[in-house]
Homo-oligomer: A and B are copies of this chain.
Amino acid sequence: MKGAPHMAEKLTPREKGFSEWYVDLVQKAKLADYSDVKGCMVIRPNGYALWENMQRVLDKMFKDLGHKNAYFPLLIPESYLKKEAEHVEGFNPQLAVVTHAGGSKLEEPYVIRPTSETIINRSFAKWIQSYRDLPLLLNQWANVMRWEMRTRLFLRTTEFLWQEGHTCHETEEDAEKETRQMLEVYRTFAEDYMAMPVMTGQKSESERFAGALRTYSIEAMMQDKKALQAGTSHNLGQNFAKAFDTQFQGRDGKMHHVWQTSWGVSTRLIGGLIMTHSDDAGLIVPPKLAATHVVIIPIFGKASDAEKAQVLEKTNALAADLRKAGLGVVLDDDDTKSPGFKYNEHELIGTCLRIELGPKDLAKNSCVMVRRDVRQKEFVSLDEAVSKAQAMLDAMQKDLFTKAKSFRDSHTFEVNSYEELKEKADQGFLLAHWNLDPKVEARIKEETGLTTRCRPFDLKQEPGKCVVTGEPSPGRIVFSKAY
Report which A residues bind B (CB closer than 8 A).
1-4, 6, 33, 35-38, 40-45, 48-49, 51-52, 68-77, 92-103, 109-110, 112, 119, 122-123, 126-127, 129-130, 132, 138, 142-143, 145, 147-149, 159, 161, 247, 249, 255
Contacts and interface: CB of A to CB of B under 8 A. Distances in A.
Contacts of A109: 100
B102 A3 contact: no
B96 A159 contact: no
A127 B112 CA distance: 29
Nearest to A255: B2
16 contacts: A1-B126, A2-B247, A3-B249, A35-B72, A36-B122, A40-B74, A43-B71, A45-B68, A71-B161, A73-B159, A74-B145, A93-B102, A95-B102, A96-B98, A97-B98, A103-B147
A276 B36 CA distance: 43
Given A45-B68, A45-B138, A48-B70, A102 B98 contact: no
A143 B116 CA distance: 15
A374 to B, nearest CB: 29
B147 A101 contact: yes
A79 B244 CA distance: 39
A145 B94 CA distance: 21
Contact of A94 (B92, B94, B102, B127): B102
A36 B95 contact: no
A97 B100 contact: yes
Contacts of A40: 73-75
Contacts of A43: 70-72
Nearest to A35: B73
A111 to B, nearest CB: 9
A145 B110 CA distance: 13
A112 B2 CA distance: 30
Given A74-B40, A149-B102, A69 B52 contact: yes
A120 B401 CA distance: 37
A101 B95 contact: yes
Given A69-B49, A94-B102, A129-B3, A75 B159 contact: yes
B1 A129 contact: yes
A69 B222 CA distance: 28
Contacts of A51: 71
Contacts of A102: 93-96, 147-149
A436 B147 CA distance: 49
Contacts of A44: 70
A117 to B, nearest CB: 14
Nearest to A40: B73
Contacts of A68: 45, 48-49
